[in-house]
Amino acid sequence: MSVTVNVQEAKTRLSELLKRVEAGEDVVIARAGHPIAELRPVRKVDLVFGGFDVEVGDAFFEPLDEGDLAAWEGADAVAEAG
């Protein structure tokens, strides 16, 4: 549910309006009958990055051979472009 109040009323009743927002209500603040702002509860969002488990084998940490290292460093692309 939402309620609309004018700017002066919002200034006068801010504490009351914030209690209503904490209870889950949205408050629209209007100037000359035109909505200009909304007060609404802050909703906490838990972000999860990745979303999957990955296991990396020991080989991942071994040094690359010269050809693979050159490919990662872009040496092949530079040689082909030149």
Q: How far is CA 22 from CA 8, 15, 27, 39, in A?
A: 21, 11, 11, 10
pLDDT of residue 78: 52
Q: Which amino acid is at 77?
A: A
* More confidently predicted of 73 and 35: 35
Q: What is the pLDDT of residues 10-61, one digit of tens each?
A: 999 999 999 999 999 999 999 999 999 999 998 888 877 777 778 888 988 8
Do the strands 26-31 and 2-6 form a parallel or antiparallel pair, or are they unpaired? parallel
Query: For residue 80, what pLDDT is reported?
Result: 58
- Which among 46, 41, 44 is positioned nearest to 19, based on CA atoms? 41
The DSSP code for 59 is G
0.75 surpassed by pTM: no
